[in-house]
A and B are shown apart, each in its own frame.
Chain A
Amino acid sequence: MEIIKTAGLTKNYRRFKKQAGMMGSIRGLVRREYEEKQAVTNLDLSIREGEFVGMIGPNGAGKTTLIKMLTGIIAPTCGTINVLGYYPNDLDHELKQQYAVVMGQKSQLFFELTVEDTLRLFKEIYGLPEEEYQISKEYFVNLFQVQELMHVQVRTLSLGERMKMELIAALLHNPKIIFLDEPTIGLDAVASKQIRGFLAEINQKKGTTIILTSHYMEDIKTLCKRSIVINHGCKIYDGDTEKLFEQYQKLKKITVTFQEPTSLPKMGNEARIIEQTPYKKVIMVPKENAPGLLRELMGLLPSDISVEEEEIGTVVERIYQKGGEGFA
């Protein structure tokens, strides 16, 4: 069932364009120049119940603006939005009861108090009966393994611990949709991995529809079957995540080591050596030429050989640069 649908969604901002220096400021007092910025342009979107959708795009691409329109925080300039049968900017409590939003850079916890205290407030805000509240809290506390952190001041928690608590606070009322705006921002690899694990479980076990924006491609690759790439406010890709990376992951990285000092013969296959010592060579090669190169390298009797995917950052850069050619 389709639970989010937008058509021709557009959001324009008007912003003051100040010229540099004091004269620019004085001129601005008399005559102001504004520029129109299209944060989101003519965006069509359809999300089905239970999907885990990743939104990727560089800074200023329009991802957060889109989330804000879908949650009703801001009104679109034009276009239509339907979330669970509601127009979000009507700010209906019935709709707000059914979704949750977590913004990685904004906390909804009370820093001087404990998480338990904040959860009590949310229990009342969402009108949860005591029994339902206790069951839900217990489920998430066990899932996130944070039993011992429930009674300490939020301000004493690490960033990773705090994000787990933000998620518990958001999930307490079992929302149908959860919007996550960069939930792993600033987290270390271990904490990010844990959060990803929890999100996957919530999506699978509770059937919660999750819309995730992240700069960390690992989040998107691991969690989201479907990806939406946004750049300059436009949707440039909407489809299978694996297909997206397959399309743009053009190179393979082959690392080969030898027991004796070895020189490589002249290589064709558009291969490029990026690191070279007498005992070790690292070669980048177009993925379709990798099997041929591997055969050649095996003839040199290496002691070890490994083939890796191209670095994810490079792939993403390519996606943004190419602007989703062949997909849009």
Chain B
Amino acid sequence: MGRMKRNLRVVRVLIEMRLQNLMMFRLSFFGPFFVDSCVFLIQLSVFQAVYYNVDRIGTWGKGQMFLYIGTFSMINAINMVICFFGINGIPDKIKNGDMDLYLTKPVSPLLRLTFERINPGAVPLLILSGVIIASGIRKGGIEITPSLMLGYMFWVAVMTVLYYLVEILIRSLSFFILSSGSAVILEETGLALCMQLPGIVFYGVYKVIFYMILPYGIMATLPVQFLTRELTLGGVMWGILVAVVFTMLTAFVWKQGIRHYNSASS
């Protein structure tokens, strides 16, 4: 309990320091709001162009597709706001030996890395994603009940954690192979594909890849299936299993990585 309280205080100070850091330069504070929102709107216009010309993808209609895009954007936006820039810096910190200073402090290095580079510029994406989700609910004619909403939020939370775990797992490879850039490119490509196509369209080997190896295929699919009451017991079990397996795998690889860390020469 004491450790938890201390960690929360560290997180609070890290967030405050990051905000203060960004506020030292007005452009670095306000710039990301504009840039991130523009990138998001460009992505959105692409989706719009595609989905206004297509009535169905697999068994899903337009409402479900809107929900899917909104949900994926929401998971991505949460990640962008909280941890993306911190986690993304892990390979460089390993290469340059900057992990040294993280390892010698009595706080989890991963906790510091996760929260030390929050990005308030991505906050508008959360709002825009919420708007898309609301529009998907309306278009799909879904009747929202409190339990349905809570369940949906639960799945979004689980999948956000899964997204975070996959990010760490891939970047932890730098502990073992210094040039893990190719793995990151692979991750980004898979991510870009799954942001546009829901998991229900994948079959065969693609399903194995995007449901098991790089589980981006399930990240927004399962929450949407829950909201549209399509999620089967098998889907529930699979979602939980993947989250648990990736939690264990990431924890194992990270711990081994720390032990394997050779620290760049001074």
Contact = CB atoms under 8 A, between A and B. Distances in A.
Contacts of A306: none
Interface in B115-173: none
A4 B101 CA distance: 21
B97 A113 contact: no
A205 B266 CA distance: 31
A110 interface: yes
A117 B9 CA distance: 14
Contact of A126 (B20, B21, B103, B106): B106
B53 interface: no
A120 B16 CA distance: 10
A315 to B, nearest CB: 24
A13 B264 CA distance: 11
Interface in B221-266: 258-259, 261-263, 265-266
Interface in A103-128: 103, 105-106, 108, 110, 112-113, 117, 120-121, 124-127
A97 B106 contact: yes
Contact of B265 (A64, A120, A124, A126): A64
A121 B17 contact: yes
A64 B6 contact: no
Nearest to A93: B106
A161 B159 CA distance: 47
B171 to A, nearest CB: 19
Interface in B6-51: 6, 9-10, 12-14, 17, 20-21, 24-25
Interface stretch (A23-31, A42-50, A70-78, A255-263): A70-78
Nearest to A111: B21
A117 B25 CA distance: 17
Nearest to B98: A106
Contacts of B107: 93, 125
B20 A73 contact: no
Given A105-B266, A125-B10, A73 B21 contact: no
Contacts of A97: 106
Interface in A124-140: 124-127
Contact of B263 (A68, A99, A125): A68
A113 B116 CA distance: 14
Contacts of A93: 106-107
A121 B14 contact: yes
Contact of B13 (A68, A100, A120): A120
Contacts of A153: 24
A246 B105 CA distance: 40
Interface residues of B, number: 29
A94 B25 CA distance: 38
A125 B100 contact: no
Interface string B91-118: 0000001111101111100000000000
A152 to B, nearest CB: 12
B101 A72 contact: no
Given A72-B103, A125-B10, A117 B263 contact: no
Contact of B6 (A91, A112, A120, A124): A124
A15 B187 CA distance: 29
A18 B178 CA distance: 16
A293 to B, nearest CB: 44
B255 to A, nearest CB: 9
A271 interface: no
A191 to B, nearest CB: 20
Contacts of A13: 262
A42 B262 CA distance: 19
B106 A113 contact: no
Interface in A48-105: 64, 68, 71-75, 89, 91, 93-94, 96-97, 99-101, 103, 105
A23 B68 CA distance: 51
A219 interface: no
Q: Please indicate which of the listed interface residues B6, B12, B266 has the most CB atoms of chain A within 10 Å of its own CB.
A: B266
Nearest to A63: B266
A101 B6 contact: no
A121 B97 contact: no
A212 to B, nearest CB: 14
B13 A124 contact: yes
A74 B262 contact: yes
Q: Please indicate which of the listed interface residues A99, A106, A120 has the most CB atoms of chain B within 10 Å of its own CB.
A: A106
A153 B21 CA distance: 10
B105 A91 contact: no
A68 B265 CA distance: 10
Given A64-B265, A68-B100, A75-B259, A110 B17 contact: yes
A125 B101 CA distance: 13
16 contacts: A64-B265, A68-B100, A73-B99, A73-B103, A74-B261, A74-B262, A96-B105, A101-B100, A103-B266, A110-B21, A112-B24, A113-B24, A124-B10, A124-B13, A126-B106, A182-B266
Query: Closest 5 interchain pairs by CB?
Result: A93-B106, A96-B106, A124-B9, A64-B266, A97-B106
Interface of A: 13, 64, 68, 71-75, 89, 91, 93-94, 96-97, 99-101, 103, 105-106, 108, 110, 112-113, 117, 120-121, 124-127, 153, 181-182
Given A89-B259, A124-B13, 18 more contacts: A68-B100, A73-B103, A73-B261, A91-B258, A93-B106, A96-B105, A106-B97, A106-B100, A110-B17, A112-B21, A112-B24, A113-B20, A113-B24, A121-B10, A125-B10, A126-B106, A127-B2, A127-B6
